[in-house]
Structure 1
Amino acid sequence: MKKLDNHLIGIDQGDVVLFSDFEDGGAMWTGEGPRERRKAVRFGEPFRAAPSVHISISLFDADTDAAIRAELTADNVTAEGFEIVFRTWLDTRIARMRATWLAIGALEHDDNWVID
Protein backbone atom coordinates (compact mmCIF):
# COMPACT_ATOMS: atom_id res chain seq x y z
CA MET A 1 0.00 0.00 0.00
CA LYS A 2 1.24 3.45 -0.87
CA LYS A 3 0.66 5.97 1.94
CA LEU A 4 0.51 9.64 1.03
CA ASP A 5 2.04 11.90 3.69
CA ASN A 6 0.81 15.09 2.13
CA HIS A 7 -2.43 17.04 2.29
CA LEU A 8 -2.18 18.14 -1.35
CA ILE A 9 -3.14 15.17 -3.57
CA GLY A 10 -3.28 15.31 -7.36
CA ILE A 11 -5.34 13.23 -9.78
CA ASP A 12 -4.46 13.27 -13.48
CA GLN A 13 -6.12 11.22 -16.20
CA GLY A 14 -6.19 10.68 -19.92
CA ASP A 15 -7.16 8.50 -22.86
CA VAL A 16 -4.43 7.50 -25.34
CA VAL A 17 -4.60 5.84 -28.77
CA LEU A 18 -1.82 3.25 -28.75
CA PHE A 19 -2.16 2.17 -32.38
CA SER A 20 -4.51 1.69 -35.32
CA ASP A 21 -2.66 -0.96 -37.33
CA PHE A 22 -5.47 -2.22 -39.56
CA GLU A 23 -5.37 1.03 -41.56
CA ASP A 24 -1.77 0.63 -42.72
CA GLY A 25 -1.06 -3.08 -42.26
CA GLY A 26 0.97 -2.58 -39.08
CA ALA A 27 2.55 -5.41 -37.09
CA MET A 28 -0.21 -5.72 -34.49
CA TRP A 29 -2.67 -6.50 -37.28
CA THR A 30 -0.51 -8.44 -39.76
CA GLY A 31 2.33 -9.82 -37.64
CA GLU A 32 2.78 -12.95 -35.56
CA GLY A 33 4.85 -13.80 -32.52
CA PRO A 34 5.71 -11.41 -29.67
CA ARG A 35 4.85 -7.78 -30.41
CA GLU A 36 4.96 -4.72 -28.18
CA ARG A 37 3.93 -1.06 -28.37
CA ARG A 38 4.95 1.66 -25.93
CA LYS A 39 3.45 5.11 -25.61
CA ALA A 40 4.96 7.82 -23.40
CA VAL A 41 2.58 9.82 -21.21
CA ARG A 42 3.50 13.13 -19.51
CA PHE A 43 1.48 14.33 -16.55
CA GLY A 44 -0.07 17.81 -16.65
CA GLU A 45 2.31 18.76 -13.84
CA PRO A 46 4.86 16.72 -11.89
CA PHE A 47 3.86 14.83 -8.77
CA ARG A 48 6.03 15.00 -5.64
CA ALA A 49 7.07 11.38 -6.23
CA ALA A 50 6.01 8.59 -8.58
CA PRO A 51 2.21 8.31 -8.30
CA SER A 52 0.02 5.23 -8.38
CA VAL A 53 -1.06 4.65 -11.99
CA HIS A 54 -4.09 2.63 -13.08
CA ILE A 55 -4.56 1.65 -16.74
CA SER A 56 -7.56 0.09 -18.44
CA ILE A 57 -8.71 -0.60 -21.98
CA SER A 58 -11.07 1.97 -23.47
CA LEU A 59 -11.08 0.53 -27.03
CA PHE A 60 -10.10 -2.97 -28.11
CA ASP A 61 -10.72 -4.05 -31.71
CA ALA A 62 -9.48 -7.59 -32.36
CA ASP A 63 -9.88 -10.37 -34.91
CA THR A 64 -11.78 -13.30 -33.41
CA ASP A 65 -10.37 -16.02 -35.70
CA ALA A 66 -7.60 -16.70 -33.14
CA ALA A 67 -7.37 -16.55 -29.37
CA ILE A 68 -7.12 -13.01 -28.01
CA ARG A 69 -3.93 -12.63 -26.00
CA ALA A 70 -3.03 -9.25 -24.54
CA GLU A 71 -1.20 -7.56 -21.70
CA LEU A 72 -1.53 -3.88 -20.73
CA THR A 73 0.80 -2.38 -18.12
CA ALA A 74 2.35 0.85 -16.86
CA ASP A 75 6.16 0.93 -16.96
CA ASN A 76 8.87 3.40 -15.93
CA VAL A 77 6.53 5.44 -13.69
CA THR A 78 8.17 8.67 -12.47
CA ALA A 79 6.91 11.92 -10.99
CA GLU A 80 6.78 13.36 -14.54
CA GLY A 81 5.14 10.53 -16.48
CA PHE A 82 5.17 6.86 -17.48
CA GLU A 83 4.93 4.49 -20.44
CA ILE A 84 1.85 2.52 -21.42
CA VAL A 85 2.95 -0.91 -22.64
CA PHE A 86 0.76 -3.22 -24.72
CA ARG A 87 1.91 -6.72 -25.64
CA THR A 88 0.45 -9.56 -27.66
CA TRP A 89 1.88 -12.81 -29.03
CA LEU A 90 1.39 -15.85 -31.27
CA ASP A 91 -1.31 -15.33 -33.95
CA THR A 92 -3.45 -12.74 -32.14
CA ARG A 93 -4.44 -9.86 -34.45
CA ILE A 94 -5.28 -6.49 -32.91
CA ALA A 95 -6.65 -3.79 -35.22
CA ARG A 96 -6.92 -0.87 -32.80
CA MET A 97 -6.14 -0.19 -29.16
CA ARG A 98 -6.86 2.74 -26.87
CA ALA A 99 -6.09 2.91 -23.14
CA THR A 100 -7.39 5.16 -20.40
CA TRP A 101 -5.24 5.97 -17.37
CA LEU A 102 -5.54 7.52 -13.92
CA ALA A 103 -2.65 8.71 -11.73
CA ILE A 104 -3.02 9.61 -8.04
CA GLY A 105 -0.22 10.98 -5.88
CA ALA A 106 1.12 13.70 -3.63
CA LEU A 107 1.86 17.14 -5.12
CA GLU A 108 4.46 19.69 -4.11
CA HIS A 109 3.36 22.60 -1.95
CA ASP A 110 4.97 25.47 -0.03
CA ASP A 111 5.12 23.51 3.25
CA ASN A 112 7.39 20.84 1.76
CA TRP A 113 10.69 22.10 3.17
CA VAL A 114 13.99 20.64 2.11
CA ILE A 115 16.57 20.90 4.90
CA ASP A 116 20.19 20.22 3.99
Structure 2
Amino acid sequence: MQRLNSGMIGVDHGNVVLFSDFEDDGQMWRGQGPREAREPVRFAEPYLNPPHVQVALSMWDIANTSNMRADVQAENITTEGFEIVFRTWADTQVARVRVAWTSFGELPNDEGWELY
Protein backbone atom coordinates (compact mmCIF):
# COMPACT_ATOMS: atom_id res chain seq x y z
CA MET A 1 0.00 0.00 0.00
CA GLN A 2 1.24 3.46 -0.83
CA ARG A 3 0.63 5.96 1.99
CA LEU A 4 0.20 9.58 0.96
CA ASN A 5 1.49 11.93 3.67
CA SER A 6 0.96 15.22 1.90
CA GLY A 7 -2.06 17.45 1.54
CA MET A 8 -0.92 18.01 -2.05
CA ILE A 9 -2.27 15.08 -4.06
CA GLY A 10 -2.08 15.05 -7.85
CA VAL A 11 -4.08 13.04 -10.38
CA ASP A 12 -3.09 12.96 -14.04
CA HIS A 13 -4.55 10.92 -16.92
CA GLY A 14 -4.53 10.44 -20.66
CA ASN A 15 -4.97 8.17 -23.67
CA VAL A 16 -2.15 7.03 -25.94
CA VAL A 17 -2.41 5.32 -29.32
CA LEU A 18 0.51 2.88 -29.16
CA PHE A 19 0.45 1.74 -32.77
CA SER A 20 -1.70 1.32 -35.85
CA ASP A 21 0.11 -1.55 -37.57
CA PHE A 22 -2.56 -2.59 -40.07
CA GLU A 23 -1.90 0.62 -42.03
CA ASP A 24 1.73 -0.26 -42.78
CA ASP A 25 1.72 -4.05 -42.24
CA GLY A 26 3.73 -3.62 -39.02
CA GLN A 27 5.02 -6.36 -36.73
CA MET A 28 1.96 -6.47 -34.44
CA TRP A 29 -0.28 -7.14 -37.44
CA ARG A 30 1.85 -9.53 -39.50
CA GLY A 31 4.24 -10.88 -36.87
CA GLN A 32 4.44 -14.17 -35.01
CA GLY A 33 5.75 -15.01 -31.55
CA PRO A 34 6.46 -12.53 -28.76
CA ARG A 35 6.11 -8.86 -29.70
CA GLU A 36 6.23 -5.68 -27.68
CA ALA A 37 5.44 -1.98 -28.11
CA ARG A 38 6.59 0.74 -25.66
CA GLU A 39 5.57 4.36 -25.42
CA PRO A 40 6.97 6.92 -22.97
CA VAL A 41 4.52 9.16 -21.10
CA ARG A 42 5.41 12.36 -19.23
CA PHE A 43 3.25 13.65 -16.41
CA ALA A 44 1.90 17.22 -16.61
CA GLU A 45 3.88 17.99 -13.42
CA PRO A 46 6.49 15.96 -11.52
CA TYR A 47 5.34 14.08 -8.43
CA LEU A 48 7.22 14.15 -5.11
CA ASN A 49 7.72 10.36 -5.29
CA PRO A 50 6.93 7.87 -8.06
CA PRO A 51 3.11 7.78 -8.18
CA HIS A 52 0.72 4.88 -8.52
CA VAL A 53 -0.10 4.34 -12.22
CA GLN A 54 -2.97 2.31 -13.68
CA VAL A 55 -3.23 1.40 -17.36
CA ALA A 56 -6.06 -0.24 -19.31
CA LEU A 57 -6.85 -0.99 -22.92
CA SER A 58 -9.30 1.67 -24.10
CA MET A 59 -9.42 0.38 -27.68
CA TRP A 60 -7.97 -2.56 -29.53
CA ASP A 61 -8.59 -3.84 -33.00
CA ILE A 62 -7.57 -7.44 -33.60
CA ALA A 63 -8.01 -10.12 -36.26
CA ASN A 64 -10.74 -12.69 -35.67
CA THR A 65 -8.62 -15.55 -37.02
CA SER A 66 -6.63 -16.25 -33.83
CA ASN A 67 -6.90 -16.04 -30.06
CA MET A 68 -6.83 -12.64 -28.37
CA ARG A 69 -3.63 -12.37 -26.34
CA ALA A 70 -2.56 -9.13 -24.66
CA ASP A 71 -0.64 -7.84 -21.68
CA VAL A 72 -0.52 -4.11 -20.90
CA GLN A 73 1.53 -2.65 -18.04
CA ALA A 74 3.10 0.53 -16.69
CA GLU A 75 6.86 0.10 -16.30
CA ASN A 76 9.83 2.28 -15.31
CA ILE A 77 7.66 4.65 -13.23
CA THR A 78 9.49 7.77 -12.05
CA THR A 79 8.41 11.11 -10.61
CA GLU A 80 8.30 12.54 -14.15
CA GLY A 81 6.74 9.74 -16.21
CA PHE A 82 6.59 6.06 -17.14
CA GLU A 83 6.43 3.67 -20.08
CA ILE A 84 3.28 1.98 -21.35
CA VAL A 85 4.17 -1.55 -22.46
CA PHE A 86 1.90 -3.71 -24.65
CA ARG A 87 2.82 -7.32 -25.33
CA THR A 88 1.28 -10.06 -27.41
CA TRP A 89 2.51 -13.49 -28.52
CA ALA A 90 1.91 -16.58 -30.68
CA ASP A 91 -0.20 -15.90 -33.80
CA THR A 92 -2.32 -13.03 -32.44
CA GLN A 93 -2.72 -10.24 -35.00
CA VAL A 94 -3.22 -6.78 -33.48
CA ALA A 95 -4.13 -3.96 -35.86
CA ARG A 96 -4.10 -1.10 -33.34
CA VAL A 97 -4.16 -0.34 -29.63
CA ARG A 98 -5.04 2.66 -27.48
CA VAL A 99 -4.26 2.66 -23.74
CA ALA A 100 -5.84 4.85 -21.05
CA TRP A 101 -3.74 5.72 -18.00
CA THR A 102 -4.24 7.39 -14.64
CA SER A 103 -1.59 8.38 -12.11
CA PHE A 104 -2.02 9.62 -8.57
CA GLY A 105 0.43 10.50 -5.84
CA GLU A 106 1.98 13.23 -3.73
CA LEU A 107 2.99 16.55 -5.25
CA PRO A 108 5.87 18.70 -3.99
CA ASN A 109 4.94 21.46 -1.57
CA ASP A 110 4.51 24.61 -3.68
CA GLU A 111 5.65 26.88 -0.84
CA GLY A 112 9.10 25.30 -0.80
CA TRP A 113 9.37 24.49 2.90
CA GLU A 114 8.73 21.45 5.05
CA LEU A 115 7.55 21.06 8.63
CA TYR A 116 9.61 18.79 10.86
| Residue 36 (structure 2) aligns with | 36
Select between 18-27 and 57-66 the one with higher mean Cα deviation. 57-66
| Residue 16 (structure 1) aligns with | 16
Q: Secondary structure of the residue that 1:25 maps to in structure 2?
A: coil
Sequence identity (%): 49
CA distance 1:112–1:74, change in 2 (3 Å):
farther
1:64 aligns with 2:80: no
TM-score normalised per structure 1: 0.95
1:64: Cα distance to partner? 1.4
* Structure 1 residues not aligned, in runs of 5+: none
1:108 aligns with 2:89: no
* Cα distance in 2, alignment partners of residues 112 and 61 from structure 1: 49
Amino acid at match of 1:113: E
| Residue 7 (structure 1) aligns with | 7
| Residue 45 (structure 1) aligns with | 45
Amino acid at match of 1:44: A
Amino acid at match of 2:41: V
* Cα distance in 2, alignment partners of residues 86 and 55 from structure 1: 10
Q: Secondary structure of the residue that 1:29 maps to in structure 2?
A: helix
TM-score normalised per structure 2: 0.95
1:3: Cα distance to partner? 0.5
* Cα distance in 2, alignment partners of residues 35 and 112 from structure 1: 47
TM-align CA RMSD: 1.4
Q: Secondary structure of the residue that 2:24 maps to in structure 1?
A: coil
Q: Secondary structure of the residue that 2:84 maps to in structure 1?
A: strand
* Structure 2 residues not aligned, in runs of 5+: none
1:112: Cα distance to partner? 4.7
1:40: Cα distance to partner? 0.1
